[in-house]
Structures are given as C-alpha cells and as structure tokens.
Amino acid sequence: MSKETLHKEVVIIGSGPAGLTAAIYSARANLKPLLIDAPPDAEKQTSPGGQLMITTDVENYPGFSKGIQGPDLMAEFRRQAERFGTEFLEAWITKVELQQRPFTLYTKDQVITTETLIIASGASAKWLGIPGEAKIPDGLGGHGVSACATCDGPLPAFRNKPLVVVGGGDTAMEEATFLTRYGSRVYVVHRRDKLRASKIMQEKAFANDKLEFIWDTAVDKILGNQKDGVTGVQLSNVKTGEQGDFPCAGVFIAIGHKPNTELFKGQIETDEIGYIKTSGHSTATNIPGVFACGDVQDSVYRQAVTAAGTGCMAALDSERFLDHLPIVMPTGDEVTMEGEHVTADREAIITPDGHIVPNKTGAAAQGD
C-alpha cells in the first residue's frame, strides 16, 4: 500500500518545550507547521510533551509562581500551539533525507516533504534500568527519583534530608555539589574506587564537607512507596558482593545524557557526543533550512525555559529563511521578497525599478 504524501513549509520534530514553542511562533506566522512526535514508549521513558512528562513539580518555569506539574505545563504549551493552527502527527520518524530541499521525512505511513525543518528531538537522560527507577506508577520516577538536580533539588521533599547521587563524572560532581545546598548530606555512590570527573570538579567535591563518597558500590534497587516517595536504596559492593539498605529521601541519577540524534547521523554536523552544532547566535545548522533547538543542541543549560527560548529562535530563523526563498509564479518566473523577478528561463533578473540584469550567481558572478 502506498504511503500518504504531505508537503509543508515547516515541519518540527519533537513536542517538548522547544518544539511546541517553535510551533506556537510558526503557527502565529501562518506557516501551518506540522509537529511530529513519537508515541509514548514506557521503556525509553518518552512521550509526547518530552522530558517534563516524567517529572512532577516544575518550580522554575517563569509565569507559574506556585509551580506547576510537568505534564500540566506541557498540556498548556500544546493547547497554545493548537490554538494557532499547529497540526500534530504522532509517529516515529524512521528516516530523513536532508541532502536536498525540500527535505524528506519518512514515518510508517507517510512521506513528508518540507521546505524547512526544525529539529527539537531533545535528549534523554541515561538511566540505570533498576527496579524503582521507572516513572510513577511503575516506579518512583518523579517521586524522589530524578535525573536533574537543578530542576528537582530545591523541592521541599529533599530539604535537609540525606540524598544519593549516582555517577562519577563531571555531571555527578556538579549535581552532588549543587544538592549540598538542600540536602542534610549528599552521598555519591560510584562503581569504581576513583572518579572520572575532571580534576577541578573532583577537588571542589572533595573539599565539600557535606559530600561523602561510597566507593566500589552499585545501586541495585530504589526503595520506597507511592505514599512516602523514596525511603532508601539497596546497595551492593561490586568487589565483595556485600549488600545493604541505605536510607535516603532522594536519588539523583547522574550518569549522563544522550542527545536524540541517531536519526540524523552522518547527515548533519554534531559534536563528538552527538549534540547538533548550531551556528553563532542562531539555531542554523550546517544545512541551510534545517534548524535545531532545545536540548538536542544544548549540553550546557538543559532547562525548559532555555529550550523554549531556542524554540522561538528556530521558528523566527525558519520564517526568515522562507521569506528569502524565491516564490515560483504561475508563469514560471520566480519572485523574491525583495521584489526581484527571476525569469522562467533563469537567464535574467528584473529588479524592482525595472532594470534587467543577467542572472549571474555564485561562481559565475565571481568571474570563474
């Protein structure tokens, strides 16, 4: 059976804060964007709405003085994008072709071509895959288990309580040091007898007297219940196999993040980890017409508000890109926003004041 074919001016991949903000701006600019997001996937902990769907209280998103639940915030974003005419498609994109414009995207049932593409596919925190870690109700994720100390550390449930951080790299040291502002004591549980973190981060962590290290140890299980949240972790010494329970009120998994860029591998410029590179103070990638926003291009800030900010930038960048593309008239002539006509045979350009100049572009114009 043949696939449905669609053509769009703007397609956005991902419905987290970045993608939905891009959709709000593009839709208000009458560009009728199509936003594609993957269906819910319990194993990968993904669902339309992005990472905030797996958390509870969001206390730092401006405009909500009393805080808001992550899923409620994303439902608001979505309603706002819908209100201005965003079209939504729930599907995994299985393949993209970015070598030429229009770009082509494939899902199981559709082939979608688009003049501009906004990639807002986000990033995924790496998880341990242990019992108790999954999102509530299957585990205690969002109820004492978190992958973001900046986001969740200041929550009342963690104040003056013992907290556990899992990991041994820079992220873990940063998260653990940050959490000492809130917890009574912070315990870094690490599988090895030394850290992977940079020397400076290690020195900072070792100098912090609210931080303690539990070496050669793995977290096997997160303990607790729906009513009380996290009450502890089950630990085991990786060398001796000795097991024991350790009481704590929160577990922060800090073993890194992975940008969701598998789909674009080999087609778009990324850094060595896989984050999409954007150019200067813009969301432009190395492919004209493809823009990236949010956590998929940001390994530093990784916050909902920064993702939303770059989503706005991507929509404006794509709108400006479209404005400067020539529009093909029924006669075959092309008209640019500046009012120039390129004749159908592409031999001449007629300027707005009536001058006819030869259509010499690129190498030809430079006399090559």
Ligand X SMILES: Cc1cc2nc3c(=O)[nH]c(=O)nc-3n(C[C@H](O)[C@H](O)[C@H](O)COP(=O)(O)OP(=O)(O)OC[C@H]3O[C@@H](n4cnc5c(N)ncnc54)[C@H](O)[C@@H]3O)c2cc1C
Enumerate binding residues for ligand X (CB under 6 A): 13-19, 36-38, 46, 48, 50-52, 54-55, 58, 60-61, 92-93, 120-123, 125, 146-148, 151-152, 260, 263, 294-296, 302-305, 307
In the bound state with ligand X, the residue whose beta carbon lies nearer, of 255 and 305, is: 305
In the bound state with ligand X, the residue whose beta carbon lies nearer, of 147 and 254, is: 147
Burial class (CB in 10 A: 0-12, 13-18, 19+), 326: middle
In the bound state with ligand X, the residue whose beta carbon lies nearer, of 187 and 264, is: 264
Find the shortest distance in angstroms from Cβ 163 to ligand X: 15
Find the shortest distance in angstroms from Cβ 59 to ligand X: 6
Kindly give, in sequence order, each residue whose CB lies less than 8 Å from that of residue 210, ignoring residues fewer than 6 positions away.
180, 183, 184, 185, 186
Find the shortest distance in angstroms from Cβ 176 to ligand X: 17
Whether 248 is catalytic: no
In the bound state with ligand X, the residue whose beta carbon lies nearer, of 192 and 258, is: 258
Bridge partners (DSSP) of residue 357 are 349
* Identified catalytic residue from 37, 151, 248, 317: 151
Find the shortest distance in angstroms from Cβ 301 to ligand X: 8
In the bound state with ligand X, the residue whose beta carbon lies nearer, of 233 and 349, is: 233
Burial class (CB in 10 A: 0-12, 13-18, 19+), 35: buried
Kindly give, in sequence order, each residue whose CB lies less than 8 Å from that of residue 312, ignoring residues fewer than 6 positions away.
21, 22, 25
* Identified catalytic residue from 37, 152, 295, 317: 152
In this structure, the number of other CB atoms found within 10 A of the CB of residue 335 comes to: 15
Whether 152 is catalytic: yes
Find the shortest distance in angstroms from Cβ 350 to ligand X: 43
Whether 57 is catalytic: no
* Identified catalytic residue from 57, 148, 298, 317: 148
Find the shortest distance in angstroms from Cβ 171 to ligand X: 12
In the bound state with ligand X, the residue whose beta carbon lies nearer, of 127 and 321, is: 127
Active-site residue numbers? 148, 151-152
